[in-house]
Every structure is written in structure tokens, then in C-alpha cells.
């Protein structure tokens, strides 16, 4: 029988939806640049390689701040850190929108990454405090609807906004929306009213000693490349190499992410029922094949792959995060997240789009998709060394 202190996922649905809303706007602030990238290239006279490097700047701001986010949440609590993250992202997008020069945009990208880096460790700690362990997979899946909706709405917001304003006007809309969400969370959001754990030699050592940490880190890095990295460069690929209309591409890319909503929830339920390892293996293999197919598919087959790939790769993240929640004791959960995600995002959302930009400039984007698919397929074997349900390290401090 459940005691009065336990809360099921159904009783804390509203707090998790608030967190998903914050995540949606922090994520939208980063991915909205993808459907606007062609226009940014034209106005600022940028090459594919130069425009692709803008995403690397977000990662450069993101990684070090997330690594040290425990020091911030220790002083501001997890709730305060989530609020600071949302405000910073909104302000950063406005800085970019009003910057007349490339250097101003580059600075804004770094600040945007810094704001984004504060969010995730505190959000994971808040969620896992609110929800019982048997519902973590479902709660994380619900939370991960935020990025999926960001993927869906970014090209739609861009396309609708460009009907009556410039790409800078679209960014102003997104930035103001993020600040409104921050104010709403400050007034009505729940949870997170406890301090975070900063990284220290003892808790970092506990986490680093677990093989599952490193396996999940590698798999998530490549999956992030197949998701965020591919998404960042996909419109440019479809327009410049496949010759598709920009309006059609933005609509196609946006609609292709809708199926990810169903896949995310299904993956969370399957992981709670069958364990993370089995579900991760199936998702990862399918992601590898579909990503590689993007490199040599044409016309209707390419459109089909563009629809299927995002749904499959989106399903991977809640399952991987479920595995990550079992790495280390509960008090260091935010530390495990803050140690892993920076490198995941630096590779997937920084190195991959920058590398794809270079590929597009000199060899063609198709080769980049083929290489990405090959890396994903080769890394599936790492799951053989991962425990299906990793046992948490004993929390010595209780």
C-alpha cells in the first residue's frame, strides 16, 4: 500500500507539465535557428561551414555552465535555477534578434547556451523527487514532450512568422514567449524547493566508476547528433542539395516531429515494463538505419525517412535518461546529469552540425548522413556491456 508521502505521476501532472513548458521554450530558443538558417546565411553572407558553427557556439556556452550548475542550484535551489535558466534563454534570443553584427549574434549564442545549461540537472532532480521510481519512465517521457514540441513548432513558427516579419522578428516572438513562460513558472510552478549537490571528488568518483555512465554517455552523444545535429542542418540539405521549396521543407520538418510525441510516451512505458537496455537496443538500431538512409534516399523515400527518423530517435532519450537516474545515489542525481549532458550536447548539437556544415561545403551533406548512420550502428554493441537495470550506489549520507 502506498503511504501518504508518495505521489503518483497522476497527482503531479501539472508540475511536470510546467517543467515541460520551460523545457519547450529553452529548446525552441535553440532549434528555431535551423529553419531560419538559410535567411541568416543570405543576410550575413555566411558559408554553410560558418553558419553551422553558430550551433557550436551554443554548445560552448552550454557545456561548462551545466558542469558547474550544481554550485548554482546549491545556492538558488533547483526551482531558482530553473527560473534563471528560462530568463537567460529568453534574454539571449532577444540579444541575437537585435544584434546588427555577426559578433553580437555569436555572443548571444554563447549566452543562450549558458542559460540552457542550467536547466536539465535541476529539472531531473525536481522530477525524480516529485514522482515515485516506478513512474519515472512515464514522467521523463512527459517531460521530453517539451523538446519534441520544440522540434514540431520551430519550423511552423518560423514559416508563419516569416509571412509578416523578418527572421529577427521571429526571434523576438520566441524570446518574449520564453520570458512569459518564466513569469508563469515563477507564479504557479511547483517543486524544486531544495538545494542541489555540487560536484565533488567523492560523488564524481562514485559516478565515474560505473560503466553504465560511460555507455549511456557515448550512446546519448551519438543519438543527440542524430536528433539535434541532423535537425540543425536538415533544412539546408533539403533546400540546397535536394532542391525542395523552403516553405515545403519547413512544413515537412515540423510535421515530421509530431510522431515523436507518441513514440516518446510509448518508449517510457516500454522501458518501465521491459527495462531500458532492450528498448534502447531496438531504438538505436532503427535510428542508425534511418539516419544513413537520409544520405542516399530521393523524393518520396526521402520524405518518408524524414518523417520516421525523428520519431525513432526521440524515443531514445527518455529511455536513456531512465538509465541515468540509476547512476549514483539520489542526492547526486543532478551531478550525474551535469557531468554527462554537457559532452552529449557539445558533440551532438555542436560538433555534428559544424561537421555536417563542413561536409556540405566540400563533399556534400549526403556523406555526413551516411557517416552518422555508420557510427550509430557500430555503437549498438556497447549495450552488451550495460546492465539492464543498473543498481544505484548506496547513498552513504542517507
2 pLDDT band, cuts 50/70/90, is very low
Name which residue leads in pLDDT, 24 or 270.
24
- Of all residues in the chain, the percent with pLDDT exceeding 90 is 31
Instruction: Say whether pLDDT at 389 is over 60.
Output: no
Identify whether 308 is part of a domain: yes
Quick one: cell of 117? 545549461
Identify whether 322 is part of a domain: yes
Identify whether 193 is part of a domain: no
Q: Give CA angle at 22 (155, 25), nearest 5°.
A: 20
165 pLDDT band, cuts 50/70/90, is very high
Identify whether 315 is part of a domain: yes
4 pLDDT band, cuts 50/70/90, is very low
87 pLDDT band, cuts 50/70/90, is very high
Instruction: Say whether pLDDT at 314 is over 90.
Output: no
396 pLDDT band, cuts 50/70/90, is very low
Identify whether 256 is part of a domain: yes
- Predicted pLDDT of residue 390: 46
Q: Choose among 124, 127, 145: nearest CA to 264.
A: 145
pLDDT tens figures, 205-252: 888 888 888 998 999 999 999 988 888 788 888 888 888 888 888 788
Q: How far apart are CA 357 and CA 335, in angstroms?
A: 33
pLDDT tens figures, 267-283: 877 877 777 788 888 99
Q: Which domain does 44 fall in, by range?
A: 13-187+199-385
Identify whether 238 is part of a domain: yes
pLDDT tens figures, 322-372: 777 777 666 676 788 888 888 887 888 788 888 888 888 888 888 889 999
Identify whether 2 is part of a domain: no
CATH number at residue 222: 1.20.1250.20
Q: Average pLDDT, stretch 315-321?
A: 84
pLDDT tens figures, 93-127: 999 999 988 899 999 999 999 999 999 889 988 88
Identify whether 392 is part of a domain: no
Record the pTM.
0.73
Q: Give CA angle at 191 (390, 79), nearest 5°.
A: 95
Lowest-confidence region among 135-149, 319-333, 374-388: 319-333
Q: Choose among 156, 143, 200: nearest CA to 36.
A: 156
Q: How many domains does the chain have?
A: 1
- Predicted pLDDT of residue 223: 92
Amino acid at each position: 500500500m502506498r503511504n501518504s508521502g508518495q505521489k503518483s505521476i497522476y497527482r503531479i501532472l501539472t508540475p511536470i507539465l510546467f517543467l515541460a513548458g520551460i523545457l519547450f521554450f529553452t529548446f525552441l530558443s535553440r532549434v528555431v535557428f535551423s529553419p531560419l538558417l538559410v535567411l541568416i546565411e543570405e543576410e550575413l553572407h555566411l558559408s554553410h561551414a560558418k553558419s553551422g558553427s553558430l550551433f557550436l557556439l551554443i554548445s560552448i556556452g552550454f557545456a561548462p555552465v551545466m558542469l558547474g550548475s550544481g554550485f548554482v542550484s546549491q545556492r538558488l535551489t533547483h526551482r531558482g535555477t530553473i527560473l534563471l535558466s528560462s530568463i537567460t534563454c529568453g534574454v539571449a534570443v532577444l540579444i541575437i534578434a537585435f544584434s546588427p553584427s555577426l559578433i553580437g549574434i555569436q555572443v548571444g549564442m554563447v549566452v543562450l547556451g549558458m542559460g540552457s545549461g542550467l536547466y536539465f540537472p535541476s529539472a531531473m532532480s525536481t522530477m525524480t523527487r516529485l514522482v515515485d521510481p516506478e513512474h519515472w519512465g512515464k514522467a521523463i517521457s512527459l517531460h521530453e514532450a517539451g523538446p519534441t514540441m520544440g522540434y514540431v513548432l520551430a519550423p511552423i513558427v518560423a514559416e508563419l512568422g516569416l509571412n509578416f516579419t523578418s527572421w529577427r522578428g521571429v526571434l523576438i516572438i520566441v524570446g518574449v514567449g520564453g520570458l512569459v513562460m518564466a513569469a508563469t513558472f515563477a507564479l504557479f510552478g511547483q517543486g524544486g524547493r531544495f538545494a542541489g549537490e555540487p560536484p565533488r571528488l567523492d560523488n564524481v568518483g562514485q559516478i565515474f566508476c560505473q560503466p553504465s555512465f560511460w555507455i549511456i554517455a557515448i550512446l546519448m552523444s551519438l543519438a543527440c547528433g542524430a536528433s539535434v545535429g541532423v535537425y540543425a542542418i536538415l533544412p539546408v540539405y533539403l533546400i540546397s542539395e535536394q532542391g525542395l521549396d523552403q516553405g515545403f521543407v519547413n512544413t515537412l520538418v515540423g510535421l515530421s516531429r509530431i510522431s515523436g510525441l507518441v513514440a516518446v510516451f510509448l518508449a517510457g512505458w516500454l522501458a518501465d515494463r521491459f527495462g531500458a537496455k532492450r528498448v534502447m537496443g531496438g531504438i538505436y538500431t532503427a535510428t542508425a538505419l534511418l539516419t544513413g538512409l537520409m544520405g542516399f534516399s530521393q523524393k518520396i523515400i526521402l520524405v518518408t525517412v524524414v518523417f520516421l527518423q525523428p520519431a525513432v530517435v526521440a524515443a531514445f532519450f527518455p529511455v536513456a535518461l531512465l538509465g541515468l537516474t540509476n547512476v549514483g545515489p539520489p542526492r547526486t542525481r543532478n551531478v550525474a546529469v551535469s557531468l554527462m549532458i554537457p559532452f552529449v550536447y557539445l558533440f551532438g548539437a555542436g560538433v555534428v552540425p559544424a561537421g555536417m556544415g563542413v561536409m556540405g561545403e566540400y563533399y556534400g551533406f549526403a556523406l555526413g548522413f551516411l557517416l552518422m548512420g555508420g557510427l550509430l550502428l557500430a555503437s549498438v554493441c556497447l549495450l552488451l556491456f550495460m546492465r539492464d537495470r543498473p543498481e544505484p550506489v548506496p547513498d552513504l549520507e542517507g
